Amino acid sequence: MQPPTEAVRTYFAKLGLEPEIADIYLALHSNGPQTISELSRTSGVERTRIYRLVDTLLASNLIEVETHYKRGVIKAAPIANLHILISQKEQELKSLQDDLGLIEQVLGRNSLSDPTTRVQFYHGPEGIRQMLWNELKADTEVIGYNYRILEEATGKQFMIRWTEAFEEQGLTQRLLLNDDFAESWQENTPGIATQRRVTGIQYHYIDPGIFRITHSCDVYNNVTAYYHWRDTEVFGIEIYNQEIADTQRQFFDLLWPKSRPEKRF
């Protein structure tokens, strides 16, 4: 457990407040109302710095200033006042969220690059996990093909969470597989694989002579996502382009009638 001083500094930092503000508040809380000169000694913060931070402390409802004869005295406000600051932060975040759509439209209209295309690269298991989590935003049927079970790249616990989210959202997918996928399903122990079919996914086998699968790919919305992992090489690519996604769907629809339901697992 963190010492009280560090706990307060950490919490204030999460609120976007500077470390000296935590030191000043702690000094006031421990030693009672003080002048700026006294507060500089007890907090270890330079007097000129305290003068500059007073407005922030007041705006955050962390201090109150009392005027005594020929001097001002600062005292700590109730710590419960942080509820006010948190409410302000929540309102600021809501305002930012409300304005985000407008900003995206403005930047999209003024972009020097093609706004209809974006390419995102990912590296390592964490990158593959992020790509799969992005897939949960699908508004369309997901189509694709898998080389081997995804647990090999993401780990079992992530795939359990992903599977639950996929099923809870009622998503659907058609998935093409070769022998390598079925073998990887059977090879991996329950400690590695989820060992169950995902509700909403149709698993179909396609002969390698028709279509040989050497990596994994999913298509949803306007996204074409490629995954690849082998030994220590783990990476992924997302291409955001509606025409490319539509072309991949046409290609997939030509292959699907040539496949059959996979019954080996």
pLDDT bracket for residue 256 (50, 70, 90)? very high
pLDDT in tens, 151-176: 888 888 889 889 999 999 999 999 99
Where exactly are the structural domains of the chain? 4-81, 118-261
- The Cβ-side half-sphere exposure at 176, using a 13 Å CA radius, reads 26
Q: Which residue, chain included where needed, has tokens 């099923």?
A: 167
pLDDT score of 130 more than 60: yes
Q: How confident is the model at residue 60 (pLDDT cuts 50, 70, 90)?
A: confident
The angle, 0 to 180 degrees and rounded to 10, between the axes of the packed helices 36-43 and 19-31 is 110
- Higher pLDDT, residue 50 or 230: 50
Mean predicted confidence (pLDDT) in 9-32: 88
d(CA 196, CA 199): 9
What average pLDDT does the chain have? 86
Instruction: Say what the pLDDT of residue 193 is.
Output: 62
Burial pattern 198-215, b for ≥16 Cβ within 10 A else e, equals: beebbbbbbeeeebebee
Question: Which residues are CB-neighbours of 112 under 8 A, at least 6 positions away?
Answer: none
Q: CATH number of 4-81: 1.10.10.10, 2.60.40.60, 3.40.640.10, 1.10.760.10?
A: 1.10.10.10
Name the E strands within 201-249. 201-205, 216-220, 223-230, 233-240
Which residue has tokens 């270890």? Answer: 44
Asked if domains 4-81 and 118-261 share a fold, the reply is no
What does the alpha-carbon distance between residue 145 and residue 153 come to, in Å, rounded to a whole number?
15
pLDDT score for 7: 84
Question: How far is residue 18's CA from residue 92's CA, in Å, rounded to a whole number?
Answer: 18
Residue 189 has pLDDT above 70, yes or no: no
CATH 3.50.50.100 fits 118-261, yes or no: no
Show the tokens assigned to 255.
């292959």
110 within 8 A of 96, measured Cβ to Cβ? no
Query: CA dist 106 to 23, 40, 81, 94, Å?
Result: 42, 47, 38, 19
Q: What is the reported pTM? A: 0.56
List, for residues 27-51, the tens digit of each pLDDT value: 988 899 998 899 999 999 999 998 8
